[in-house]
Structures are given as structure tokens and as C-alpha cells.
Amino acid sequence: MVVIGQRVYEVLFNKDEDPINQYIEVQGVYFQVIGLFKSKRSGEGANEDNQ
């Protein structure tokens, strides 16, 4: 199971697609998406968090 950041969501999924309960593959291992993370910070720190 995995929680993905906003940027990962933008890269892997369509804009109006719900990532929850879908699977993503990372280096040959499949993970079920159980949450989406969006930083409350702003600026460069937020970008790092969301990636």
C-alpha cells in the first residue's frame, strides 16, 4: 500500500481519475494506492513534498 504525492498523481493518472484502490508499479513491485498527499507548505518545499 502507498500514499502518493500530488505530483506523482499528476504524472501517473488523468486529471479526473480517482487513484484510490488502483495499483502502481515501482521497480517491478505493485503497490495499491490508499491515499493522496498534498503539502500544506508553499514554494520549493511544497514541490519536494508533493513529489
Task: Please give the average pLDDT of every successive group of 10 residues along the chain, which has 51 residues.
Answer: 92 95 97 88 65 62
pTM given for the model: 0.77
- pLDDT of res. 47: 63
Torsion of CA 5, 9, 15, 18, to 10 degrees: -90
Amino acid 7: pLDDT: 87
Q: What pLDDT, on a 0 to 100 scale, did the predictor assign at position 50? A: 55
pLDDT of residue 6: 87
Q: Residue 35: which region, alpha, beta or left (left: phi > 0; alpha: psi -120 to 50)?
A: beta
Cα(42)–Cα(29) distance, integer angstroms: 32
CB-CB neighbours of 20 under 10 Å: 10
CA 49 to mean position of chain CA atoms: 10
